[in-house]
Amino acid sequence: MEARPQRRLLLTSLLESPRMCGWILGAGVAHVALAGTPLQGWRCPFFQATGCPCPGCGLGRAAVLLLHGHWRDSFQMHAFAIPALVMLAVLGAGLLPGRVGDRVRAGVRWIEERTWLVQGLLAALLIYWISRFALDAAGFRTLVV
């Protein structure tokens, strides 16, 4: 009987690399924090290079709106603010020492081994991005930039 190849567990792999996990968490938290200031975070390198918003453009400001309780405005800015904030929370919890961090990492592994949740969210993000261009390219560009 031939062994089935193991698929890559994206979030689990990240959580098992504390240094990379910490860098991504730090950058995400810093960007959301800056998005809540007059600086509005840093400019998107993809947008600067292409003139087109990337899949994450507007996500920092949408997260800030969500944290301030402006659900509708947040969803209008970027529908993935909730998954992004949950992802930052999971990264942070996964870095905790001891049993709490071990449980988070084990839980993420368990979910990823049994579902395609992370890959599904990434695919949904790309479909959402393409749909925003197809439905309202000019409005999308002005909304997130």
For the stretch 26-76, pLDDT in tens is 999 999 999 988 877 778 888 889 888 889 888 999 999 999 999 999 998
Whether 126 is covered by a domain: the verdict is yes
Amino acid at the residue 48: Q
Q: Which one has a higher pLDDT value, 107 or 38?
A: 107
Whether 2 is covered by a domain: the verdict is no
Whether 104 is covered by a domain: the verdict is yes
DSSP-derived 3-state class of residue 45? helix
Hey, how many other C-beta atoms are within 10 angstroms of the C-beta on 1? 3
Whether 1 is covered by a domain: the verdict is no
Whether 56 is covered by a domain: the verdict is yes
Domain that holds residue 48: 11-144
pLDDT at 138 (0 to 100): 66
99-112 average pLDDT score: 96
DSSP-based helix, strand, coil % in the chain, nearest 5: 70, 0, 30
Number of compact structural domains in the chain: 1
For residue 16, pLDDT over 80 is answered with: yes
d(CA 123, CA 100): 30
For residue 91, pLDDT over 60 is answered with: yes
Task: Confirm if 87 and 108 have CB atoms less than 8 A apart.
Answer: no
